[in-house]
């Protein structure tokens, strides 16, 4: 074994990494080799020196700076979260529009058609507004006359056929009947 290899063993010995048999081997070599003894001596001194060398230290306000940095990064993260929270609905909206685009186009087209027709009808109605008002008065008169008859029939039925105990049921039934009647009468007048 050459001295070069013993030098490595010496360093491992100083680092406390040698097993017993290697230690014995090194010990016997050191007794014979002056050069390796000198190497050991220098390495021992070097070890002591290196161990004694103190660590460097950062500026006094280092910890404060680190904590400020952490706070700053936390705040930035918080702002990012808020922005994300606000942007999420926008992104979702865009996604929905993108995915349902054909349906939305169809919807918009239908609404446009209805709106145009509606405007057309409105224009027609307002151009003949006098005629229309007269028609409305006629319709209102007929409704009122029909209601008068209905009223009479209702009272007759209530007084002649049913006794007062059935008034509640009759009222509800009449409400439905009245609604139905109105629905029947109104279109007839519109058609005429």
Q: Which stretch binds other proteins (CB under 8 A): 3-11, 150-158, 173-181, 182-190?
A: 3-11
- Rounded least distance, CB 56 to other proteins, Å: 4
- Rounded least distance, CB 2 to other proteins, Å: 14
Burial class (CB in 10 A: 0-12, 13-18, 19+), 11: middle
For other proteins, the closer of residues 31 and 48 by Cβ is: 48
Phi/psi of residue 131, each to 5°? -60, -40
Long-range contact set of residues 134-143: C-beta below 8 Å, sequence gap at least 24: 135/189, 138/189, 139/186, 139/189, 139/190, 142/185, 142/189, 143/182, 143/185, 143/186
Q: How far apart are CA 100 and CA 116, in angstroms?
A: 24
Q: Which stretch binds other proteins (CB under 8 A): 60-68, 102-110, 112-120, 126-134?
A: 60-68
Q: Please list every residue from 72 through 101 that binds other proteins, using CB under 8 A.
A: 73
Q: Please list every residue from 28 through 57 that binds other proteins, using CB under 8 A.
A: 38, 41-43, 45-57
* Residue ranges in contact with other proteins by CB under 8 A: 7-8, 11-12, 15-17, 38, 41-43, 45-59, 62-63, 65-67, 69-70, 73
């Amino acid at each position: 074994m050459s001295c070069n290899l013993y030098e490595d063993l010496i360093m491992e010995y100083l680092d406390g990494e040698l097993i017993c048999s290697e230690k014995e081997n090194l010990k016997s070599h050191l007794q014979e080799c002056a050069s390796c003894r000198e190497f050991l001596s220098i390495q021992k001194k070097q070890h002591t020196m290196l161990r004694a060398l103190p660590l460097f230290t950062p500026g006094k306000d280092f910890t404060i700076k680190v904590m400020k940095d952490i706070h700053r990064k936390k705040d930035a993260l918080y702002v990012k979260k808020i922005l994300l929270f606000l942007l999420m609905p926008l992104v979702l909206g865009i996604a929905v529009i993108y995915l349902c685009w054909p349906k939305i186009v169809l919807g918009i087209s239908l609404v446009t058609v209805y709106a145009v027709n509606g405007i057309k009808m409105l224009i027609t109605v307002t151009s003949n507004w006098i005629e229309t008002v007269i028609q409305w008065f006629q319709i209102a008169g007929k409704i009122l006359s029909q209601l008068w008859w209905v009223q009479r029939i209702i009272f007759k039925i209530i007084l002649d056929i049913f006794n007062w105990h059935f008034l509640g049921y009759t009222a509800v039934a009449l409400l439905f009947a009245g609604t139905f009647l109105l629905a029947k009468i109104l279109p007839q007048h519109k058609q005429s």
